[in-house]
C-alpha cells in the first residue's frame, strides 16, 4: 500500500503540477516584489532631499522683511533643537528609535491584529523612520501595499543614514498644523518664539500635536490640548527624561490662547514687485519652495515712516473734504472692524465719503536703488500699485524736460522768454500760433472767427490766476505757463529730451504737452527727472541687489547700467533753476481741475516722488482745492525723516560753470548797488555782457 502511494505521489503529472505551481508562485512573488519596489524612490535621493523651504526676503540692511512659502517650513540642525523636544518625540512616537532597524515587529503585529478585527486600516504603529519615509516619499493613504513599501524604505533609510540624521530630518519635516511644517515654524506659529526659547511644557504641546494637529490645536480645543500635553509630560517622566519637579512645573504652564498677532508689515507693494520679477524667471516652485535668499534695495525703516505719514495726511485731507461736503466721519473708522464677521461688517452702516489715494517713492540718485515704494493706502485694501502701474498726468512736473530742451538750444537761465497770451489753432494736421503780439482782448476777438468752424480748434492758455508778466527770465518762467517756451524750442525737441531722460510713455505732439497732459507712471517719471540730479547720467530703478540659493550660491546680482544722456553743465543749470534750498531741487505739478497733485524733489544723493488724487479721476476743483504744494508738504514731512542721516551735501558744480549777479527782471548783469540782484549759474562764456 505504501509503495502504491509513493508511486502515485511522484507520478509525472503530479510533479509537473507541483513545478508549475511553484513556478507560478515564484512569478507571482517576483511580480509582486517588482510592483512593490517599482513604487519606491531610490534611497540615495534622500541624501539630496530638501523639504519645501521658505524663501526669505531681506532689506538693504540684511533684515528679514518677508517670507515666500507654500508650507511654513525651516530647516534646523539637530543641535539647535531643544533636547526636551527631541526627547518628547522619541518618548511619544518611537521609544525604541535608537534600537530598531527601521521598523517595529511588535507594532506591526499589533496593527495587523487591529486591522483584521475591525476590517479597516489603523493609523499609527509606525516608527519615526517609517513616518519619515511616508512623509517624504509616500502618500498618506492607509493601504497594505503602502505599508510594505514604507517598511522597506525605512530599512533602506536606516542603512544609509545615522539615527541623528534621521531624527533631524523628521523634526524638520513633520506637519504640526496651521500650515507649519517642522518644529521651528511651529514654535513661531503657536508661541511666536524661537526654538531656543521653548519651555518643557511648550515642547510637549508641540509633540502632542503630531497624531492629529487639528484635534489637539490649543486655540481650537484648549482642554483637549492640555490633556494631550500632560500625557506627553507624563510619558517623558515615566521614561526618565524629566524630573518630578520639572513635570509639575511644566503642567502649570498656561497654554497659548490665540495665535500671535500678525501685524501689517510695511513694504507689501515692494514685495509684490519682487514676486512679479522673480516668479517668471525661476518659476513658482523655486521661488516658493526652494529657500532662496533675496537681498533687496528697500530700507524697511524708511518704508514704515513713509507709509505712516502718507496715510495720516491723506486721512486728514479726507476729513477736510468730508467736512466741506457736510459729512461727519469718525477719523478712527478707516478700516473694517476685525471683531465682526464679514456678514456683520456688510450689515454695518458706512458713511460714504471721497477717499484720496496716494503714492510715494524714494530712490538712490546714482544707482537707481529703490529705498521706499508706497503704492497706495493699504495693500490689503487695494493691490493696485499707483507708483508703478497708474498712468497719471504729471502737470507742471513735466516742465523740466521743456527747460532742458531750451538749455540745449542755447538758452540760459537769464534768457528772456515770452509770458504773453497766445492763441494756438489746429488746422487738422498741426498746431500754429496765431498772433503773438496781440493782447488778450484782441485775441478773444480774433478767436471768434474760428469758433463756428469744424475744421479748426482754438486754444488760448492762461497762467494760474490769469496774470501775464510780459517777458521774463527762463528761471522765473518755471512758475508760469510753459506753452510759449515749448512753441519756441519745439515740441519735437521736448519729446527727444524726455525720451533721453527715460520717458517711454506716449507723448502727444501738442503745445499742451508742456503742461503735462501726457500720462506717465511715477517710477518712470522719477527715474527720468533723477537723470538731471545725477549730472545727466541715467540709471534705471531696480529693486533686487542679489539672489542666492538655500546654500548661499549666487544666482544673480544687479549691476547698474549708466548712460550719459545730457551734459553735466546743462544738468546743473536745470537743477539750479529748480532749487528749493541749498541742497534740494524740486518741482510741483497740479493738473487741470486739480485731479493730480505731484511733488518730485531730490538731493545729490536721494530722489523722491509723491502723488495724491482719486482713483476715479475726480476733480478737487469744487472741494478742498489741493495742489502740488499740498503734496509737497507731506513729501517734506516724510523726507525730513528719510534724510536725517544723509550728508547735507550741495549739488556739485561741474567744470565749465561760472556765476554772475544778474537783474532778475531784465536778465542782464546787475549793478553792484542793486538790492534784488541774483547770483545765477551759466555755462562759461554765456553770461550776460551788459548791464
Closest Cα partner for 56 from 235, 291, 343, 318? 291
Say if residues 405 and 496 touch (Cβ distance below 8 Å). Answer: yes
- Give the pairing of strands 55-58 and 293-296: parallel
DSSP 8-state class, residue 302: H
Could you give the 3-state DSSP secondary structure of residue 225? helix
DSSP 329-340: --TT-SS--TTS
Residue with cell 556765476: 659
DSSP 8-state class, residue 539: -
Closest Cα partner for 147 from 116, 164, 122? 122
Kindly give, in sequence order, each residue whose CB lies less than 8 Å from that of residue 625, ignoring residues fewer than 6 positions away: 594
Is there a catalytic annotation at residue 397?
no
Task: State how far the Cα of 160 lies from the Cα of 464, in Å rounded to an integer.
Answer: 82
Q: Of 69, 93, 150, 521, which one is the catalytic site residue?
A: 93
Q: Of 396, 397, 493, 521, which one is the catalytic site residue?
A: 396
Task: State how far the Cα of 398 lies from the Cα of 390, in Å rounded to an integer.
Answer: 16
The Cα-based distances of 113 to 128, 178, 688 in angstroms read 21, 34, 106
Say if residues 527 and 368 touch (Cβ distance below 8 Å). Answer: yes
The Cα-based distances of 394 to 105, 529, 612 in angstroms read 77, 12, 11
Is there a catalytic annotation at residue 248?
no
Task: State how far the Cα of 137 lies from the Cα of 158, in Å rounded to an integer.
Answer: 15
213-226: b (≥16 Cβ within 10 Å) or e: beebbbeeeeeebb
Q: What is the dihedral of CA 476, 479, 480, 482, to 10 degrees?
A: 90
Dihedral class, residue 8 (left if φ above 0, else alpha if ψ from -120 to 50, else beta):
alpha
CB-based burial label for 489 (10 Å; 0-12, 13-18, 19+) = buried
Kindly give, in sequence order, each residue whose CB lies less than 8 Å from that of residue 674, ignoring residues fewer than 6 positions away: 661, 663
C-alpha cell at 84: 526636551
Closest Cα partner for 632 from 595, 587, 593? 587
C-alpha cell at 671: 549793478
Report H helices in 39-142: 45-48, 83-93, 105-118, 128-136
- Which residues are tagged catalytic? 93, 396
Amino acid at each position: 500500500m505504501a509503495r502504491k502511494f509513493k508511486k502515485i505521489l511522484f507520478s509525472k503529472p503530479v510533479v509537473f503540477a507541483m513545478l508549475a505551481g511553484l513556478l507560478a508562485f515564484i512569478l507571482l512573488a517576483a511580480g509582486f516584489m517588482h510592483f512593490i519596489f517599482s513604487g519606491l524612490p531610490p534611497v540615495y535621493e534622500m541624501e539630496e532631499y530638501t523639504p519645501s523651504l521658505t524663501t526669505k526676503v531681506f532689506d538693504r540692511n540684511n533684515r528679514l522683511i518677508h517670507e515666500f512659502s507654500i508650507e511654513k517650513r525651516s530647516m534646523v540642525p539637530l543641535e539647535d533643537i531643544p533636547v526636551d523636544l527631541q526627547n518628547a518625540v522619541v518618548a511619544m512616537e518611537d521609544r525604541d528609535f535608537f534600537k530598531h532597524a527601521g521598523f517595529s515587529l511588535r507594532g506591526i503585529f499589533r496593527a495587523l491584529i487591529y486591522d483584521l478585527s475591525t476590517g479597516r486600516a489603523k493609523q499609527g504603529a509606525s516608527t519615526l523612520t517609517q513616518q519619515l519615509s511616508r512623509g517624504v516619499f509616500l502618500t498618506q493613504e492607509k493601504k497594505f501595499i503602502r505599508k510594505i513599501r514604507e517598511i522597506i524604505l525605512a530599512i533602506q533609510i536606516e542603512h544609509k543614514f545615522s539615527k541623528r540624521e534621521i531624527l533631524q530630518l523628521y523634526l524638520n519635516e513633520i506637519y504640526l498644523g496651521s500650515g507649519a511644517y517642522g518644529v521651528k515654524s511651529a514654535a513661531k506659529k503657536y508661541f511666536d518664539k524661537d526654538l531656543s526659547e521653548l519651555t518643557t511644557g511648550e515642547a510637549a504641546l508641540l509633540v502632542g500635536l503630531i497624531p492629529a494637529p487639528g484635534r489637539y490645536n490649543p486655540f481650537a480645543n484648549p482642554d483637549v490640548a492640555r490633556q494631550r500635553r500632560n500625557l506627553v509630560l507624563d510619558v517623558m517622566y515615566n521614561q526618565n527624561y524629566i524630573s518630578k519637579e520639572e513635570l509639575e512645573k511644566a503642567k502649570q504652564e498656561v497654554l497659548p490662547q490665540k495665535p500671535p498677532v500678525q501685524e501689517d508689515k510695511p513694504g507689501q507693494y515692494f514685495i509684490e514687485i519682487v514676486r512679479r520679477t522673480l516668479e517668471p524667471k525661476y518659476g513658482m516652485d523655486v521661488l516658493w519652495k526652494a529657500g532662496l535668499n533675496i537681498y533687496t534695495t528697500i530700507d524697511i525703516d524708511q518704508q514704515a515712516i513713509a507709509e505712516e505719514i502718507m496715510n495720516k495726511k491723506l486721512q486728514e485731507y479726507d476729513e477736510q473734504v468730508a467736512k466741506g461736503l457736510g459729512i461727519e466721519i469718525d477719523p478712527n473708522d478707516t478700516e473694517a472692524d476685525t471683531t465682526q464677521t464679514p456678514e456683520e461688517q456688510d450689515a454695518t452702516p458706512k458713511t460714504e465719503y471721497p477717499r484720496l489715494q496716494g503714492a510715494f517713492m524714494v530712490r538712490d540718485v546714482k544707482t537707481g536703488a529703490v529705498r521706499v515704494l508706497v503704492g497706495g493706502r493699504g495693500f490689503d485694501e487695494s493691490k493696485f500699485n499707483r507708483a508703478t502701474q497708474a498712468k497719471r498726468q504729471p502737470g507742471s512736473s513735466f516742465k523740466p524736460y521743456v527747460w532742458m530742451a531750451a538749455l540745449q538750444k542755447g538758452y540760459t537761465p537769464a534768457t528772456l522768454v515770452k509770458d504773453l497770451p497766445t492763441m494756438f489753432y489746429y488746422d487738422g494736421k498741426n498746431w500754429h500760433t496765431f498772433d503773438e503780439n496781440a493782447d488778450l482782448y484782441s485775441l478773444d476777438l480774433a478767436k471768434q472767427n474760428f469758433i463756428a468752424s469744424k475744421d479748426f480748434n482754438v486754444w488760448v492758455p492762461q497762467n494760474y490766476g490769469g496774470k501775464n508778466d510780459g517777458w521774463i527770465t527762463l528761471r522765473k518762467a518755471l512758475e508760469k505757463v510753459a506753452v510759449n517756451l515749448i512753441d519756441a524750442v519745439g515740441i519735437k525737441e521736448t519729446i527727444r529730451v524726455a525720451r533721453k531722460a527715460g520717458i517711454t510713455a506716449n507723448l502727444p505732439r501738442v503745445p499742451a504737452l508742456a503742461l503735462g497732459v501726457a500720462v506717465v507712471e511715477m517710477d518712470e517719471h522719477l527715474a527720468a527727472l533723477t537723470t538731471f540730479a545725477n549730472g545727466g547720467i541715467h540709471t534705471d530703478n531696480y529693486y533686487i541687489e542679489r539672489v542666492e540659493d538655500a546654500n548661499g550660491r549666487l544666482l544673480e546680482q544687479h549691476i547698474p547700467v549708466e548712460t550719459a544722456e545730457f551734459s553735466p553743465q546743462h544738468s546743473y543749470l536745470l537743477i539750479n533753476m529748480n532749487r528749493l534750498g541749498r541742497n534740494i531741487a524740486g518741482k510741483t505739478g497740479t493738473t487741470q481741475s486739480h485731479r493730480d497733485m505731484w511733488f518730485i524733489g531730490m538731493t545729490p544723493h536721494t530722489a523722491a516722488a509723491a502723488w495724491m488724487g482719486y482713483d476715479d479721476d475726480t476733480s478737487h476743483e469744487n472741494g478742498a482745492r489741493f495742489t502740488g504744494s499740498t503734496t509737497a508738504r507731506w513729501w517734506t514731512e516724510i523726507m525730513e525723516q528719510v534724510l536725517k542721516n544723509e550728508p547735507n551735501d550741495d549739488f556739485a558744480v561741474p567744470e565749465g560753470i561760472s556765476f554772475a549777479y544778474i537783474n532778475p527782471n531784465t536778465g542782464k548783469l546787475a549793478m553792484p548797488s542793486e538790492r534784488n540782484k541774483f547770483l545765477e549759474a551759466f555755462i562759461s562764456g554765456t553770461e550776460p555782457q551788459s548791464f
